[in-house]
Structure 1
Amino acid sequence: MVHRFLAAAVILLASLTAHAQDPAASPAISYTRDIQPILTEKCVACHACNDAACQLNLGSAEGATRGASKVPVYQGDRSTAVTPTRIFYDASGPEAWRRKGFYSVLDAQGSQAALMARMLELGHDNPLPPNSKLPDNIVLGLNRTNMCPMPGEFDAYAAAHKHEGMPLAVTGLTDAQYATVKRWIAAGAPVDQQAIQASPKEAAQIAEWEALLNRPGSTEALVARWLYEHLFLAHIYFTGGEPGHFFQWVRSRTPSGQPIDLIATRRPDDDPGSVFYYRLMAVQGVIVHKTHITYPMGPAKLARVKQLFYSGDWHATALPGYGPRHRANPFETFQAIPAVARYQFMLDNAEYFVRTFIRGPVCRGQIATDVIRDHFWALFQEPARDRYVTDAAYRAKATPLLEMPGQDDNVGSILSLWLAYRDKRNAYEDLRRDAYADMPPPSWATLWAGNDNALLTIFRHFDSASVNKGLIGDVPTTMWLFDYPLLERTYYQLAVNFDVYGNVAHQAQTRLYFDLIRNGAEINFLRLMPADKRGKLLDSWYQNSGKVKMWLDYQKIDTSTPSGMQLNEHDPKRDFGLKLIQRAGTLNASPDPINRCTGAYCSRTGISEEFKNVEQSLSRLVSRPAAGLKVIDRLPEATMLRIPGKSGRMVYSLLRNRAHTNVAFLLGEAYRYVPGLDSLTLWPGVLSSYPNFMFNVPADQVPAFVDALEQSRDQASFDKIVERWGVRRTNPQFWDFFHDLSTYIQETEPQEAGVLDMNRYENL
């Protein structure tokens, strides 16, 4: 019996050994199980969304098989608009994408390996020294020109760019990851698509929402169109839904219950061209933070929508068409819907709407963000105090003046179009100024205080921006006050009607109007200030060349009608900010003792003693001008601090707020810097989709880190700080630290989590 057992064991062992030695018998590689996790860890941080290098989107099998293109999405100086190439929207499958000019990175070319394999090989065979500064000839960020070599051009690229294989200028794949991806590509790069499906709880809620938006009748259709145009960018999640499941509103040729047949128009307010239905489609692929603008839905939200839009005694007698006129003026297009319902819906989730135009496609690149300050607070006007909402006669006069540019992209007409729309906007400002002069003086009751969306903080990080609930940081240089006409215009101009694939005429008109929007929000806020102080405040915001812009494009402000606010006459803006903080209570989602420390203790409550000491030390860096903290000159816009300690680890954002004489122009920002007035804001959490650098500082070394920053006076001393605590792109632990930022978001705000972008990670 024993002999038979031993003989069987020998035969089995021989069989297993032979199987292990036979490459053909190795288990098949699964794209979903084995490859996508590697791409998510090492590639998606640069290859996702519209600004993916060479449009190579590696967040899904669809993107990997789509391949690359030499045509950039973001090209503000092109004279002719290009065809949209939105993944999951404008084509499906490799052959359809080939017809749109994309070339494969996975197919072997004769005797040559696939382009992806060769790019990875170039990176794997030419590693950079660990944690070293990159050579100066490797250009990064938005200044990099993506060469996008096709397979036949690779040899020339590799000869000229030895250290620019993939992943680009960063710690590469591990040997095991590299071997896995090579074996997958050599096997023909098979993919297994596993589309996200709604859970039963999600499906039930989707059915309710789709039934609501597809009700028959003119009134119902008009409301549905307005809701769709306001939610098309949202990553929607449901009450009781599955973690990581998000959905987007689309228009489909097929009704609920059937597979979605997507109608892919350039804009959400373009003519769909056929009978259509509003549908909720699951968001596919890896979630990336920069496009992840979340919006909650559930029974309470459904009841709220029904209350706002379906309970009043109003009816739409006809449906508006589609086209340039209706895109240019949504106030006219949707005038049948009560203005109070439209405005209140936007206020309920104001953070979402502000994120769509601050974090959305328009705000990629310095030109798009040049016309906003680096740090400001946003407030909203109470609907009952909004003249456009409450006064039908005023609304009728204002509506024709609220048209927005960008519908006509004739390059030769940029100037004449701009002047026409500027004049309409200025006529509206005159009308508004005179109408509000007849109203009771503005007071605290002027400000909407409905929920914690009422107070928002916006940070601009040179060529990107972020939005968060609450009043973060010291009292800023400026504040914005949105009323309904301003909030709706900003949303339509920068989210609904902005065409990232458009030409220079469209994009220039859009961004020039954004300048007027900022000015309008500032003017609204100024009305809260004492009448005799408004001119001085405005002058401080528009110094030097800003005076020219005030003369050319802006209307005169009201400097005579009194305010109902009781503010310190020596510094009314700061006094307002401090009183706003005191009055905010639970509306302020971001109490901030670190940046606004008024006593001996400059840390948050509810954290360990260890991290209270960390925050106490870090608070020495904030709310100080660069003239007194020289190291600010060498810090990028968005630095992340990872602080491991005995009681866990924390992540902080250290944001540089650049000071300007004015932000009234799209170009020439460098000439308007006032670097001596730059300051820092520190906040627990990740306040940028695009980290510029990271320091890993153990909690017990934070005092030494702060001391070193305070004492740094030159590049050599700053380099020592980077050498000791900095996480350079070549750090062997770079990816562990970088993705820990996303993990921290997952732990603290799970619905907001997504892979961060490292295209702006700097070479310090």
Structure 2
Amino acid sequence: MKKSRFLMLVVFVTGCTTFGAKKLSELYGPAQPGDREVKVLETGQIDYWNDVKPVIENRCVVCHSCYDAPCQLKLGSIEGIERGASKDSVYDQSRLFKADLTRLFEDAGSVSEWRAKGFHPVLNEQDETFTANKAAGVMHQLLQLKSNNPLPDANILSDDFTFGLNRKNECPKPEEITSYSNRNPLWGMPYALPGLKSNEQQLLLRWLEQGAVHTKRPALPSQFKSLITEWETFFNQSSLRGQLVNRYIYEHLFLASLYFDELEGRHFFRLVRSRTAPGQPVDIIATRRPYDDPAVERVYYRLVESKGVVVAKTHMPYALNKKRMIRWNSLFYDRDYTVDQLPDYDLKHSSNPFLTFKQLPVSSRYQFILDEAQYTVMGFIKGPVCRGQVALNVINDHFWVFFIKPSELQDTALTEFIADNGDLLSLPSGKDSIYRPLSAWRTYSKKQRNYLAKRDEYLLSLGHEKVPLDLSQLWDGNGSNENAALTVFRHYDSATVEKGLLGMQPKTAWLLGYMDLERIHYLLVAGYDVYGNVGHQLLSRLYMDFLRMESEGTFLLLLPQESRKKERALWYRGANEEVLAYLESPEVERANHNTAISYNTDNPKQELFKMLMNKYKYLLPKYRKLSSLKNEDLARTLGSVSSIKGDDLNNLPQNSIILVETKDGDEFFTLIKNNAHLNMTSMFGEQKKRIPSEDQLIILRGFVGSYPNLFFKINDNNLVDFIKRISASGTEQGFSELMNRYAVRRSHPDFWVFSDRVYRGYENFEPVDFGLLDYNRLENR
């Protein structure tokens, strides 16, 4: 009986959908995906590039971008608008099989191809009439729905709205839009935000009613073309050495926002693999991973302009200039070594950079990724996992990162070691299944122990272990590189990497060498498949546990032997027996390593951090620090925020942007709450490991993080009161009073005015790093 009712329900729902499609087809003709590009606009037609694009970017892209765009509707380009939406989610941590690839600009070349992949239109694709453009256009209908049902006049929105990254998105098709609107009258667009200003709303509606046509994309300014030619010549040297070097460069820069800092204008480029040589139209080779078999005899590396709007959560700027080319020539072409055979693309080899690039000098590879260490580390945060607690709950909320100094001695020592132990360095990126997590943990822990034991045995045979560790063995940025030390902030399921040593002394720190950086990159960037199944994602996170522990363990070697165990015990409070047994193994303890650093107190870690801060104090950038403010009173008052700790922070989210109005203009700051944990050894049950009494607060200049949770606006005359209210916000009443007085909630009638002000400040303060923020994590409190 139940089965019969279920089948009847399926038939009914299917029949309704078919009826809706048939009705649209009968009224407005059959759906025909087509090209909306016109040579010239007719009189009265609205210009997409000059008029429509700025509105969509600043009002719609703030939610609809990257892999986590609701319904995969990416509105940052005309191509994304024409592609439309999908009911399938890219981020699905329960799928048993890897998903079909749906990367914009890569996995389909026309609107018809996207329809074949299951994407449905948000623009009218029936007959081209004024009425059809309104009635059969999902985008038009959702904008009109918002206009007909404006946001309720309330500070906190009701349960009619759902929030959170995992909220269900309905993604209505054209034939479903009427039913959707009847069920959810308040779910017009922008979702759970104020409607557009009248002039913006009318502009978008008129453009849609006119058929959403657009002229050809504006041509790239001519001054860029000569530089593209010069760099594509560099990237496509035909020698075996040249082909191997540029394969290495590509596999590390395929996600970079490349730009020419010698020229003006915000034009960013991607380095892609193409079937065609420079001088011909680019024919992108779209593979799941950058090291997958391209299935061509010769790969060409080409520069293509990024067509979508720049969004902060994926934006990783990387400058190309004459200095860079000279540097790469010195690293890879002025060295004496031989490349006598190109590696293949068999997954077992291509997923292991230590095998693929074994003919390139280790010190050259290491210096290449060190030169832009912030970009390298940022890759696993802003790369394929642009939303990702699975990848990010393996790290603490706040820690510092340092690097081992490069040395040409590595070219002989490490090259020989890698040749003998390449299998121990293989990564799980090619695996898709994990059915027994504990068994997999044991397998990789044994492998990691073997690797550490082999490494120590090899170094001992060379006499390197007899050299005591001290700060001279840490990379100093060659005296001028600001990437020498980094700070990582984790904001629950997103994170940020900043140059410099920011915030108070952290609980933990990492000390990374070449093999650590390379494995992190190939595990969570080059080898991470956002479309992969749950097994692949769990394996990636599991393996990152060992890389984190190794990096932390190397940092501990700078401390006296007797204090290492104490620190590790603090970092891994409450960890399960398997983890503790691993941490206590001889290979991890590595008692043979001594430090030459002299300590004078009973808190050597604090001493070490002070020595490190002194080592880098003249090198690292200071623009994030309050001390860089000209207004010393403002800096001093805001600095007092860092004294608020523990339970007083219970209600604050992890990332808030503060606008302070001063007589000299707007100043922007980011308030970061660092959540304390007993340990970071499990992807499940994070809340059970929380220690709210140890939470801390950091305030920095500018914009740190891509996903703000709250906005505040304060006049500098009220700063003392604002900070007083933050310290009292641990109670529900105190938090409510703070919000009512200073917050710019997502429901605020002037929200978009404030948003525009934020973007002006962001672009002025950080013109290269600037990108649109993501508003999907704005809270409703």
**Scaled by the length of structure 1, what TM-score is found?**
0.91
Query: Partners in 2 of 1:389 and 1:137 — Cα distance?
Result: 65
Contact 1:122 1:162 in 2 (8 A): yes
Query: Partners in 2 of 1:362 and 1:501 — Cα distance?
Result: 10
Please give the residue correspondences for 1:482-497 in structure 2 after superposition, counting only pairs within 5 Å: 482-497=512-527
1:185 equivalent to 2:212? Answer no
User: 1:579 is matched with which residue: 597, 611, 615?
Assistant: 611
Residue 669 of structure 1 corresponds to which residue in structure 2? 686
Amino acid paired to 2:286: A
Deviations 1:166-210 (A, max 9, x none): 10000111122222222222222212241552542x322222221
User: 1:139 is matched with which residue: 139, 152, 162?
Assistant: 162
Q: What secondary structure is seen at the aligned counterpart in 2 of 1:143?
A: coil
Contact 1:623 1:681 in 2 (8 A): no
Between 1:483-492 and 1:513-522, the stretch displaced more is 513-522
Deviations 1:659-704 (A, max 9, x none): 0000011111010000111010100010011111110001111111
Contact 1:386 1:483 in 2 (8 A): no
Contact 1:73 1:501 in 2 (8 A): yes
Q: Percent identity?
A: 38
Q: 1:487 to 1:409 in 2, by over 3 A?
A: same
Query: Partners in 2 of 1:688 and 1:103 — Cα distance?
Result: 32
Please give the residue correspondences for 1:255-266 in structure 2 after superposition, counting only pairs within 5 Å: 255-266=277-288
Query: Partners in 1 of 2:86 and 2:428 — Cα distance?
Result: 30
Residue 119 of structure 1 corresponds to which residue in structure 2? 142
Amino acid paired to 1:453: N
Q: What secondary structure is seen at the aligned counterpart in 2 of 1:361?
A: coil
Residue 775 of structure 2 corresponds to which residue in structure 1? 758
- Count of residue pairs brought into register by the alignment: 725
Residue 621 of structure 2 corresponds to which residue in structure 1? 589
1:283 equivalent to 2:306? Answer yes
Amino acid paired to 2:634: V
User: 2:664 is matched with which residue: 612, 631, 647?
Assistant: 647
Query: Partners in 2 of 1:387 and 1:511 — Cα distance?
Result: 29
Amino acid paired to 2:598: Q
User: 1:726 is matched with which residue: 743, 768, 777?
Assistant: 743
Between 1:323-332 and 1:750-759, the stretch displaced more is 323-332
Cα drift, residue 419 of structure 1: 4.7
Residue 13 of structure 2 corresponds to which residue in structure 1? none
Please give the residue correspondences for 1:223-242 in structure 2 after superposition, counting only pairs within 5 Å: 223-242=245-264
Residue 3 of structure 1 corresponds to which residue in structure 2? none
Amino acid paired to 1:467: V
Q: 1:100 to 1:193 in 2, by over 3 A?
A: farther
Between 1:556-565 and 1:633-642, the stretch displaced more is 556-565
Cα drift, residue 389 of structure 1: 6.5
Residue 505 of structure 2 corresponds to which residue in structure 1? 475
Query: Partners in 2 of 1:496 and 1:712 — Cα distance?
Result: 42
Amino acid paired to 2:567: L
Query: Partners in 1 of 2:176 and 2:455 — Cα distance?
Result: 59
Deviations 1:502-558 (A, max 9, x none): 111111111111111111110110111111110110010001135542326884312
Cα drift, residue 614 of structure 1: 2.3
Residue 532 of structure 1 corresponds to which residue in structure 2? 562
Residue 352 of structure 1 corresponds to which residue in structure 2? 375
Gaps of 5+ in 2: 1-40
User: 1:205 is matched with which residue: 227, 233, 250?
Assistant: 227
Query: Partners in 1 of 2:410 and 2:323 — Cα distance?
Result: 29
Cα drift, residue 584 of structure 1: 1.0
Residue 520 of structure 1 corresponds to which residue in structure 2? 550
Contact 1:250 1:278 in 2 (8 A): yes
Cα drift, residue 405 of structure 1: 0.4
Residue 3 of structure 2 corresponds to which residue in structure 1? none
Residue 335 of structure 1 corresponds to which residue in structure 2? 358
User: 1:313 is matched with which residue: 310, 324, 336?
Assistant: 336
1:61 equivalent to 2:61? Answer no
Deviations 1:419-458 (A, max 9, x none): 5444322211222344556241110111101221011000
Residue 8 of structure 2 corresponds to which residue in structure 1? none
1:460 equivalent to 2:490? Answer yes
1:659 equivalent to 2:666? Answer no
Between 1:698-707 and 1:26-35, the stretch displaced more is 26-35
Deviations 1:704-752 (A, max 9, x none): 1112222345212211211111010111221232243332232122111
Amino acid paired to 2:99: V
Contact 2:146 2:187 in 1 (8 A): yes
Aligned-residue CA RMSD (Å): 2.2
Amino acid paired to 1:728: R
Residue 5 of structure 1 corresponds to which residue in structure 2? none
Cα drift, residue 590 of structure 1: 3.1
1:46 equivalent to 2:66? Answer no
Please give the residue correspondences for 1:665-704 in structure 2 after superposition, counting only pairs within 5 Å: 665-704=682-721
Residue 37 of structure 2 corresponds to which residue in structure 1? none
Q: 1:526 to 1:432 in 2, by over 3 A?
A: farther
1:565 equivalent to 2:587? Answer no
Between 1:706-715 and 1:417-426, the stretch displaced more is 417-426
User: 1:97 is matched with which residue: 114, 122, 130?
Assistant: 114
User: 2:348 is matched with which residue: 325, 348, 352?
Assistant: 325
Q: What secondary structure is seen at the aligned counterpart in 2 of 1:377?
A: strand
1:400 equivalent to 2:420? Answer no
Contact 1:746 1:753 in 2 (8 A): yes
Deviations 1:258-280 (A, max 9, x none): 21111111111011111331101
Q: 1:513 to 1:742 in 2, by over 3 A?
A: farther
Cα drift, residue 591 of structure 1: 7.3
Contact 1:408 1:506 in 2 (8 A): yes
Q: What secondary structure is seen at the aligned counterpart in 2 of 1:613?
A: helix
Q: What secondary structure is seen at the aligned counterpart in 2 of 1:142?
A: coil
Residue 193 of structure 2 corresponds to which residue in structure 1? 170
Query: Partners in 2 of 1:443 and 1:297 — Cα distance?
Result: 35
Deviations 1:236-269 (A, max 9, x none): 1113223210111001121111211111111110
Cα drift, residue 153 of structure 1: 2.2
Q: What secondary structure is seen at the aligned counterpart in 2 of 1:141?
A: coil
Q: What secondary structure is seen at the aligned counterpart in 1 of 2:385?
A: helix
**Scaled by the length of structure 2, what TM-score is found?**
0.89
Cα drift, residue 624 of structure 1: 4.0
Cα drift, residue 616 of structure 1: 1.5
User: 2:276 is matched with which residue: 241, 254, 262?
Assistant: 254
1:445 equivalent to 2:477? Answer no
Query: Partners in 2 of 1:553 and 1:407 — Cα distance?
Result: 27
Cα drift, residue 155 of structure 1: 2.7
Query: Partners in 2 of 1:616 and 1:186 — Cα distance?
Result: 54
Q: 1:563 to 1:157 in 2, by over 3 A?
A: same
Q: What secondary structure is seen at the aligned counterpart in 2 of 1:84?
A: coil
1:219 equivalent to 2:241? Answer yes
Query: Partners in 1 of 2:389 and 2:433 — Cα distance?
Result: 24
Residue 35 of structure 2 corresponds to which residue in structure 1? none
Residue 600 of structure 1 corresponds to which residue in structure 2? none
Q: 1:363 to 1:468 in 2, by over 3 A?
A: same
Cα drift, residue 406 of structure 1: 2.3
Q: 1:388 to 1:416 in 2, by over 3 A?
A: farther
Amino acid paired to 1:272: P
User: 1:31 is matched with which residue: 45, 48, 64?
Assistant: 48
Contact 1:62 1:92 in 2 (8 A): no
Q: What secondary structure is seen at the aligned counterpart in 1 of 2:599?
A: coil
Query: Partners in 2 of 1:139 and 1:279 — Cα distance?
Result: 43
Contact 2:67 2:386 in 1 (8 A): no
Between 1:662-671 and 1:184-193, the stretch displaced more is 184-193
Deviations 1:360-401 (A, max 9, x none): 222513222111000000100011398577454434334331
Q: What secondary structure is seen at the aligned counterpart in 1 of 2:627?
A: coil
Contact 1:254 1:261 in 2 (8 A): yes
